[in-house]
Chains A and B, each alone.
Chain A
């Protein structure tokens, strides 16, 4: 892959950058979930690996979160954009070379950022923990080049219309640049106090709402019609989904700070918008499930459809939780507890990961023109991911409710710690299952590249029978 970095753009094979992004994403997923499993072990067994500052939970948690968000999720998005955007415009990627350099610089920047976090250099702001010089690098060498490549590909398309997925890709790459720049202003200009807190959660809210959620959904809009062969059920529901994300998700995010001394009217405004995230969720889930009409057998038979529909179904509990947990009536109870950790994993490890995994499975096979090496390994990956995630989510939700009760009824902290100990062990088991599943996946995709059956021109990988 590295040999193409210095090649001429026209000499780089179509899809090379997508393959680079895709494999990078899987490697980061293995690293990120491995770190997560390590961190969970520290919470389940407090004497596990002590005495090293850089392996302390406070250092490791940030490294895990950023490896997963910027490594796995964002690089899987990059992969999807590198092959879906040109495909939907009946054209080639605007610049394969830019795509390759973008992925290369993404890996370099993220590695650097994680080392810096590991060393204890951090902004101390959750989700935007990177110090200012890493933030500037991310904007300049990671976010903007990705947006340029996506936008230029859409502009140079050979179709008159733009398919729903590309609305989301174009808007999300544009919005990410704004969210990342504005959200890190406290870092650039040393803003402190309430302004810092507010911008921190404005960033955290929008990086989920204007980047992760819409791009994950956009991928499903491609995967399901592409693999099932059905037309997308409704172009109109696509409009309802897209515009409700733009309008309702981009709002102040003050509902993340319901207990902070922000103006109450701002909280009221944000809280209503917070419930209204159910509108895009309803639109998305209904559109995808209705597109599946007549093809539900593929939910069982096809690995990409199974991942996508499972992720789509997870959008229901995700948005029911997200919509209501931020209201004044509920937030006072669950704020600052493991419930929120469970919810964050439902969004990132549940909903979006399942949709992205489908895109990476489909994209790598399509771009390498190789049939998946082993369906059995893919099935093992799916079930380890699903069982591991569910174990994690349920145990952390229960632990969160215990913590909430302990907080409200002023139960001594150590009693709460003892009460939630079994759930911390369950969390570690769940996270470890996910990590093991991802190791299988990396092996499976590596073997697909090396020994997968070649897919003839004009055919799709899922049209061929599995050999193993």
Chain B
């Protein structure tokens, strides 16, 4: 059971162990069944890596979340702009708001595009968002559900001021544990398969040396 680190990508076993394994592999018929020593095919390796990357990307809580009060604050603030207040109708007012907000570097344009609202919506949620802002509430902790602005259904860590974070982080300790799991999985499988004879060798099944 000797180890060798001369060529770890080929095998981690020393020559004596490799020879012993080869003989056993060729001699032994497991109920008439045999196994080949083919490498894990390259497309399979790529698929596994793609799966790992996808597993993280697709589970980050960035999708499917409700919009926050913070997201619509630039819209609500723009409602007080004279251009908006003097608009002939709601359509013009909304266009004016979108034009003003489009020049605001702090607005989250990508999310606003995915959560379109009308002037009627803004008339309902606007006063609620302004009231929260007047009380110095963390607007990101409030979600907009239809005509209502409500505290988000998520309980995170406490801030120094005693309030609780109610925004789902894009990374949490669950993902850190996943990294730990993946690390030891890949390490264990690597060690396991690299202890076998190198893939350049294929067994001649049923072959018994004198």
Contact = CB atoms under 8 A, between A and B. Distances in A.
Interface string A161-194: 1111000000000000000000000000000000
Nearest to A224: B33
Given A232-B36, A236-B39, A264-B154, A273 B178 contact: yes
A164 B182 CA distance: 22
Given A236-B193, A329-B58, A286 B174 contact: no
A225 B33 contact: yes
A164 B31 CA distance: 12
Query: Size range of the interface on B?
Result: 35 or more
A283 interface: yes
A159 B178 CA distance: 37
A268 B44 contact: no
Contacts of A15: none
Contacts of A236: 37-40, 193, 196, 199
Contact of A272 (B28, B55, B189): B55
A272 B175 contact: yes
Contacts of A161: 24-25, 28, 30
A282 B196 contact: no
B172 A265 contact: yes
B178 A269 contact: yes
- Binding site of A, secondary structure by majority: helix, strand, loop or mixed? helix
B48 A90 contact: no
Contact of A90 (B31, B51, B185): B31
Nearest to A247: B185
Interface in B4-38: 24-25, 28-38
A450 interface: no
Given A244-B185, A272-B59, A164 B29 contact: no
A271 B56 CA distance: 9
Interface in A217-248: 222, 225-226, 231-240, 243-244, 247-248
Contact of A329 (B24, B54, B64): B64
Interface string B186-198: 0011001100100
B194 to A, nearest CB: 9
Contacts of B36: 231-235
Contacts of A328: 59, 61, 63-64
Interface in A279-306: 279, 282-283, 286, 290
B208 interface: no
A276 interface: yes
Nearest to B29: A90
A160 B199 CA distance: 21
Contacts, number: 161
Contacts of B63: 328-329
A264 B40 contact: no
Interface string B168-210: 1000111101100110110011001100100100010100000
A262 to B, nearest CB: 11
B34 A231 contact: yes
A141 interface: no
Contacts of B196: 235-236
Contacts of A398: none
Contacts of B39: 234, 236
A271 to B, nearest CB: 4
Interface residues of A, number: 54
A352 interface: no
B31 A88 contact: yes
Given A235-B35, A264-B174, A327 B59 contact: yes
B55 A275 contact: yes
A31 to B, nearest CB: 32
A89 interface: yes
Contact of B44 (A235, A248, A283): A283
Given A237-B44, A243-B188, A275 B34 contact: no
B41 interface: yes
Nearest to B52: A276
Nearest to B55: A275
A324 interface: yes
B47 interface: yes
Contacts of A310: none
Contact of B175 (A226, A243, A269, A290): A269
A278 interface: yes
A160 B192 contact: no
Given A163-B31, A232-B34, A243-B188, 8 more contacts: A84-B31, A87-B31, A162-B30, A236-B199, A243-B185, A272-B59, A279-B52, A327-B58
Interface of B: 24-25, 28-41, 44, 47-48, 51-52, 54-56, 58-59, 61, 63-64, 154, 156, 168, 172-175, 177-178, 181-182, 184-185, 188-189, 192-193, 196, 199, 203, 205
Interface of A: 84, 87-90, 159-164, 222, 225-226, 231-240, 243-244, 247-248, 251, 264-276, 278-279, 282-283, 286, 290, 323-324, 327-329, 332
10 shortest interchain CB distances as A-B pairs: A268-B174, A269-B174, A275-B55, A265-B174, A87-B31, A163-B30, A231-B34, A234-B38, A271-B59, A329-B63
7 contacts: A90-B31, A160-B24, A234-B38, A244-B185, A264-B156, A272-B174, A324-B58
